[in-house]
């Protein structure tokens, strides 16, 4: 089973991700990419990394579907896909997905935003046309996949619920999570969290100053003789 399953790391370069998710720097995404590949190698599963350099298609759905199809075309019967924006992802999640595919048609690692951080699927149940119609990068994705699986009577298994890094709010959630993440990534995220916190306090102070000034400057000034 192990030799018949491949991992697809669908992740852009640090520079490209920093352009798309401008709330974080390329340093953070570089650390995330390094950690993701380290986790993948630790699992011992054959993997392929598709960055923007070898992705084909206009929309995310097209690029993602084409990448999965390309791995299947290499002779694999099962594909497990992951991105690079889940700091809590460990090799045991990948190995668990590998084993779950032995007795299920589909495996999902659900993310708290309604999407997924991992998907394992068998070639027999991969329908490219259906994939292209899915509501990619929306909070409806996970429910939609679950609904389609139920309709087609596919056996689906779920892994642990984790957080993705898709917004500024996710930084705080991940930092304050009790789940362990690499120190190098934690430090970088903490720096950005502190910067955002200072900017918020600064803006709040400015707002309060303006509000205070307006409250005590209504009408003409009093003139005392």
The structural domains of the chain, with segments of one domain joined by +, span 2-166
Which has the closest alpha carbon to 85: 33, 151, 25, 41? 33
- Regarding pTM above 0.75, the answer is yes
pLDDT for the residue numbered 178: 67
| 2-55 per-position pLDDT tens digit | 579 999 999 999 999 999 988 888 999 999 999 999 999 999 999 999 999 999
One DSSP character per residue, 53-98 reads TT---SSHHHHHHHHHHHHHTTT-SEEEEE-S--TT--HHHHHHHH
Q: What mean pLDDT do residues 165-176 have?
A: 85
pLDDT for the residue numbered 61: 96
Return all residues near 44 (Cβ < 8 A) that are at least 6 apart.
Answer: 2
pLDDT bin (cut points 50, 70, 90) of residue 199 is very low
Of residues 179 and 14, more confidently modeled: 14
Return all residues near 36 (Cβ < 8 A) that are at least 6 apart.
Answer: 9, 11, 82, 83, 84, 89
As a whole number of angstroms, the distance between CA 166 and CA 112 comes to 11
The counts of H helices and E strands in the chain are: 8, 6
Q: What mean pLDDT do residues 129-148 have?
A: 95
Torsion angle of the four alpha carbons 158, 163, 166, 169, in this order, in degrees rounded to the nearest 10? 140
pLDDT higher than 70, residue 214: no
pLDDT for the residue numbered 97: 97
Q: What is the DSSP letter of 111?
A: B
Of residues 186 and 132, more confidently modeled: 132
Which has the closest alpha carbon to 23: 149, 165, 154? 165
pLDDT bin (cut points 50, 70, 90) of residue 81 is very high
Contact in structure between 113 and 42 (CB atoms under 8 Å): no
| 83-109 per-position pLDDT tens digit | 999 999 999 999 999 999 999 999 999
pLDDT higher than 80, residue 222: no
Q: What mean pLDDT do residues 153-167 have?
A: 94
As a whole number of angstroms, the distance between CA 17 and CA 28 comes to 10
The whole-chain average pLDDT of the chain stands at 86
Angle at 124 between CA 122 and CA 125, to 5 degrees: 75
pLDDT higher than 80, residue 200: no
Of residues 61 and 196, more confidently modeled: 61
| 186-198 per-position pLDDT tens digit | 888 888 766 555 4
2-166 sits in which CATH class? Answer: alpha beta
Max intra-chain CA distance, the chain: 95
Which has the closest alpha carbon to 9: 73, 77, 99, 86? 86
pLDDT bin (cut points 50, 70, 90) of residue 182 is confident
């Amino acid at each position: 089973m192990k030799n018949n399953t491949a991992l697809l790391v669908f992740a852009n370069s640090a520079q490209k991700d920093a352009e798309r998710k401008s709330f974080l720097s390329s340093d953070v995404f570089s650390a995330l990419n390094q950690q993701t590949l380290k986790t993948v190698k630790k699992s011992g599963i054959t993997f392929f990394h598709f960055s923007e350099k070898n992705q084909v298609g206009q929309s995310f759905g097209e690029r993602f579907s084409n990448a999965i199809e390309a791995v299947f075309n290499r002779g694999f019967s099962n594909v497990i896909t992951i991105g690079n924006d889940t700091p809590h992802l460990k090799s045991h999640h990948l190995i668990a997905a590998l084993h779950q595919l032995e007795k299920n048609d589909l495996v999902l690692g659900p993310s708290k935003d309604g999407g997924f951080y991992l998907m394992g699927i068998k070639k027999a149940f991969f329908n490219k046309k259906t994939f292209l119609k899915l509501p990619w990068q929306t909070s409806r994705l996970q429910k939609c996949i679950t609904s389609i699986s139920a309709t087609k009577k596919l056996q689906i298994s779920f892994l642990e619920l984790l957080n993705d890094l898709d917004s500024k709010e996710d930084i705080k959630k991940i930092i304050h999570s009790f789940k362990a993440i690499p120190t190098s990534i934690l430090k970088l995220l903490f720096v950005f969290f502190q910067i955002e916190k200072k900017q918020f306090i600064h803006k709040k102070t400015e707002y309060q100053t303006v509000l205070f000034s307006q409250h005590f400057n209504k009408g003409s000034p009093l003139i005392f003789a």
